[in-house]
Structure 1
Amino acid sequence: MTLTLYTSMPVSHHQRGSPELDPDHPLRLRQQTILAKFGELALQCDDLDEILTEACRLVGQALGTDLAKVVELQSDGRTLLVRAGVGWKAGVVGVASIDLTENSSEAYALRCGEPMISPDVAKETRFKYADFLIDNGAQAVANVIIIGGKDRPAFGLLQIDSRTPRDFSEEDVSFLRGYANLLAAAVDRLRVLHDLRGREMLLTRALAQEQVVVSELHHRVKNNLQTVSSLLRMGRRNADSSARDGFDEVIGRMNALAAVQSRIYESIHLNEVDFAATLADIAASLIKIYHGGQASLVMPVAAPLVLDVARSMALSLVCYEVILNAMKYAWVDRAPGTLTVEITKVGSGHEIIIADDGVGFVEGEVARGMGGRFSQILAGQASAQLALFTSPGSGTRVVMRLS
C-alpha cells in the first residue's frame, strides 16, 4: 500500500539525515517503548474499552499531543462514534459522532485506506471538521485507519489531535500506522473472542434446553412405565391363577425399567445412570414384595458404576431376573435368608455379584431364570459375561462381568 501524505506545510526539516531518523534519538526510543508497552496490553487485556482508552493515552505521550481518540465505524456505514479518547471535554467520548460526508477527512481516510493529515485545521480547505473538534481547540489532525480482520470492514480510525498547528512527519505517520495496526490486531482478537463467547453462550443455552427436553422425556417414560404397570395390575386381578405369574413377570420388568428412568431423571448427565443405585432400588423393591420383606439385603460399599442409558436398561433387566429367581426359588420350604448384591472393580472393568444362601440347584438343570436363555440374551445386549455357580444346599451365585 502506497503512503499518501496530505499536508500543506513543508517537510524539508524531516528529510533523511535529521536526528529524528536516528533509531537512538529520544523521540524514536520513546515511541518504540510505547509500542512495546501497548503490545503487552493488547495481548493481555480482554476489555476493549480499556485497550482503546490506553491506546489514546499512550499515543498522545508518544507524539506529545494534547488530544487523541478512537472513532468506531457504526453498522450504518455512514457514522463514526467517539468510542474512546483522552483530553476531551465531557460529552464527547461515547456521545459525539462524525458523519461521513464527502467533505470529511474521515471519509477520505476510510475510502482510500491511507493516513490523512491536516497540519492546520484553520487553513484547511479540503475538509470540514466536526463542531466538537473545533470546540475542544483541535488545530491539527492525523487520521490513521484501524483495519478490520479477515472479511471484516474497518473498525474505525485512530485520530491524533493537537491544540497547536503541527506538521506530522513521515516518521510520525509511519509510527502511527504501525501503532494502528497493533491496535487493529487487538480489536480483531477481542472481536473473535466476543464471537466465540457469544456462540458458547448460545450452545450452553441450547444444551440446557435440550437437557430440559430430554429430562422431561425420561420423566414421561418413567410415568408411562408406571402407568403400564398399573394397567397390568388391574388386568392381573381379573386373570385366572395360571396367567397371574405372567402378569407378575411383565410388571416386574416394567418396574426395573422405571427404576433406571428414575435415576436418569435425577442425574445431571442425562445420558448416564448411577447403576449401583439402580441395582439397590431393584433389590430392595423385590425383597419388599416377596417373603413379606423378611429376606435380608446385604450390599457392601459398591465401587462406582456409571453406565450409559441403553446398557443400563438391558443390565437392569438381567439383574431383575436374577434377583427375582432368588426370591422365588432360593428359600423353598425354609425361612428367607440373605441376598448379597455387590459391585467390585476388576482390572479395567467391573463385576456384579448377586448371591443367596438358599437351597441351590444342580448345575445343568436350571431351565429358566438365573442362567436362562432370556438372561443370557439381555446380558449380551449389556456387553456382560454371565456366569452361574451353584450346588445343592450351598446357595447360588451369579457373576456378571462388565468390560
Structure 2
Amino acid sequence: MTAPVTQRHVDRLLRQQASLAQFGSYAFSEPQLSRILTEAARVCAEGLGVPFCKICRYRAAEDDLLIEAGWGWHEGVVGRVVSAANETSPQGRAYVTGQPVILGNLREANDVVLPAFYGQHGIISTIDVIIKSKEGDAYGVLEIDSPVQHTYDRHDIDFLTGFANVLAEAVATANRNDMLRRTVRLMEALVEEKDKLLAERAMMAEELKHRVRNNLQLIQAMLFTHMKIGGGEQEQASVRAISRRVMTLSEVYEQLLGTGLDRTIDLGEYMRSLCGRLPGLQGNGGGGIALACRAEPLLVDLDTVTALGMAVAEIVSNSFEHAFPDGIGTVSVVLVRSADGRDGVLTVADDGVGFVEKTGSKRHGVGLVRRLVQQVMGEVTRGEGPGTSWSLSFPLHAPPREPTPAVAP
C-alpha cells in the first residue's frame, strides 16, 4: 500500500526539483569542473537532507574509484580515498551494475568492504547511482551518506538518478570545453611560434640580401678601380661587361630589399632602375646617347628578373658601343603585357646605324642574350630597321624548368 503524500513530502519534492534546475543552470555556465563537482555534492546533500555526499571518478589504469569531490567530509578524504571498482564496495557495485545501490544499514551489510573513513564519520546509510551520459563511458558514481538510518523512497532515488544524469552531461560538456580551450591554447602557441619563426626568417633573409647586395657592390667598385688603373681597350671592354653584369645582379637585390620574403619582383620598377644606371657603365659615360624607359608593372619571379635584366643590359650596351658612330642617338626600353595577357614583351630599340649579326657568335651579344631568354622559356626576335630593334617575349607564368648551367661571360 502506497504511503499518503503529505504536504511536507510535496515541499521536499519541490525543493529537490528547484535545486536540480538551479544546479543545471550553474553547471552549464561554470568552466571549472572541480567547482561543478563540489557544487553537485553540496546540492545533493541538502536536497536529500543528509550531511555527506561524494562524487567518485573511475580511473581505468588503476581500476578504482577515486573520491574526486565531496561535501561534509573531514580533510584528507576528498582526492585521496579510493574504493575498488567491483561489487565489494557500494560505489563499485553501482558502477559495475549500472543500477542504484541502497544500503539502509551498513552494519548489516556483510558483503561489502568499506574504507576506514566510513566508521570515522559514523556512516550508516548510503545510496549510490552511476554517473553516465548518453554517449561514452561512465564518469563514476554519485553517493550520499548519512550517520542516521534512512528509509529512502522512489522519489529520492529518482531525484538522485536525475541529478546524476544532469551531472554526467555537465561533466561531458566541461571536458569538451576544456579540450577546446587546450586546443585553442595550443593553436595560439603554434601561431606565436610561427610568427616568431617567420620574424626570424625575415630578419635572416634581410641580412642575407644586404650581405649579397653589399658584396656585389664591393665587386663592382673593385672593377671600376681596375678600369681607372688602365689596360688596353679590349681589357677595358671585358671589365665593363663583367661590371655591367654584376650591376644587374646588384639591382635585383636592391629590389628584393623592398619586397621582404616575396618570391616575385615588379619587373617594370626593376627595368626603370636598371636603365637609370646603365649609361654610367659605358666607356664614355653615355655621352650624347639618351636611354629612355617605359615599363608597365609586371610581377615575375627572381630568375626571370635576373635573366631579362642581364639580357637588356647586354643589348643596351651593344647599342651604346656600336649603333652610334657619331656618339648621338636614342635607345629605348619598353615593357608591356601581350594582348592576351599571358606574356610579357620587352622591346629594346635604337635609332642607330643598324646591326649585322656575326655568324657563329657564341660568347658575345646575341648568343648571350638568346641563352639568357631561353632560360625563362622566352623567345628573341630582331625587327627590321631603321636602327636595331630586339623583342624579348616571355611567359608571365612559366612552367617549371630544369636548372640551367651558369651563363658564360
Secondary structure of 2:332's partner?
Answer: coil
Aligned partners of 1:324, 1:92: CA distance in 2, in Å? 82
Give me the whole-angstrom Cα distance separating, in 2, the residues matched to 1:322 and 1:34.
Answer: 79
* Structure 1 residue 328, shift from structure 2 partner: 7.5
Cα distance in 1 between the residues matched to 2:8 and 2:173: 30
Using the alignment, how far apart are the partners of 1:126 and 1:24 within structure 2?
A: 33
1:187 correspondence with 2:171 = yes
Q: CA contact under 8 A between 1:114 and 1:145: conserved in structure 2?
A: yes
Q: Cα distance, 1:111 vs. partner?
A: 0.9
Cα distance in 2 between the residues matched to 1:97 and 1:252: 75
Aligned-partner SS, 1:76: coil
- 1:37 aligned residue (9, 19, 22): 22
Distance 1:110 1:101 in 2: 8
Are the counterparts in 2 of residues 53 and 84 from structure 1 also a CA contact under 8 Å?
yes
TM-score (norm 2): 0.61
Report how far residue 88 of structure 1 moved.
1.0
Structure-2 separation of matches of 1:140 and 1:195: 38
Q: CA distance change for structure 1 residues 366 and 181 in 2, over 3 Å: closer, same or farther?
A: farther
**Which residue in 1 is equivalent to 2:46?**
61
Partner of 2:95: 110
Partners of 1:204 and 1:196 in 2: how far apart? 12
**Shift >6 Å, 4+ stretches:** 326-329
C-alpha displacement at 1:47, in angstroms?
Answer: 1.4
| Contact 1:71-1:80 within 8 A present in 2 as well | yes
Contact 1:23 1:29 in 2 (8 A): no
Match for residue 223 of structure 1 among 186, 194, 207: 207
Q: Size of the alignment, in residue pairs?
A: 281
Tell me, which stretches of 5 or more residues in structure 1 are unaligned?
A: 1-11, 265-308, 334-364, 385-403
Distance 2:269 2:20 in 1: 70
Aligned with 1:124 (options 98, 109, 116):
109
SS of residue in 2 equivalent to 1:127: coil
Residues 102 and 108, structure 1, Cα contact 8 Å, conserved in 2: yes
Tell me how far apart the structure 2 counterparts of residues 102 and 182 of structure 1 sit (CA, whole Å).
25
Quote the RMSD (CA, aligned, Å): 3.3
Aligned equivalent of 2:196, options 196, 208, 212: 212
1:318 deviates by 3.6
Contact 1:60-1:66 at 8 Å conserved across structures: yes
**Does the aligned pair in 1 maintain the 2:86–2:95 contact within 8 Å?**
no
1:210/1:70 CA distance change after superposition, 3 Å: same
Which consecutive residues of structure 2, in runs of 5 or more, have no partner in the other structure? Answer: 224-237, 280-285, 288-329, 345-409
Match of 1:314 in 2: 265
Per-residue Cα deviation, 1:153-206 (whole angstroms, up to 9, x for no partner): 321111101110112212111111110010111110010111112222222223
Q: Distance in 2 between matches of 1:109 and 1:318?
A: 79
Cα separation, 1, equivalents of 2:4 and 2:277: 102
Cα deviation for residue 326 of structure 1 reads 6.2
Task: Indicate if the aligned counterparts of 1:149 and 1:188 stay in contact, CA closer than 8 A.
Answer: no
Residue 51 of structure 1: CA displacement?
1.1
**Do the aligned partners of 1:366 and 1:372 also contact (CA within 8 Å) in 2?**
no
Partners of 2:53 and 2:145 within 8 A in 1: yes
Indicate how the Cα distance of structure 1 residues 218 and 165 shifts in structure 2: closer, same or farther if over 3 A, else same.
same
Output one character per residue of 1:58-89: Cα deviation in whole Å (capped at 9) or x when no partner.
11111111111111112424222211111111
- Percent of aligned pairs sharing the same letter: 24
TM-score (norm 1): 0.62
Candidates 162, 180, 184, aligned match of 2:146 = 162
Contact 1:232 1:251 (8 Å CA) reproduced: yes
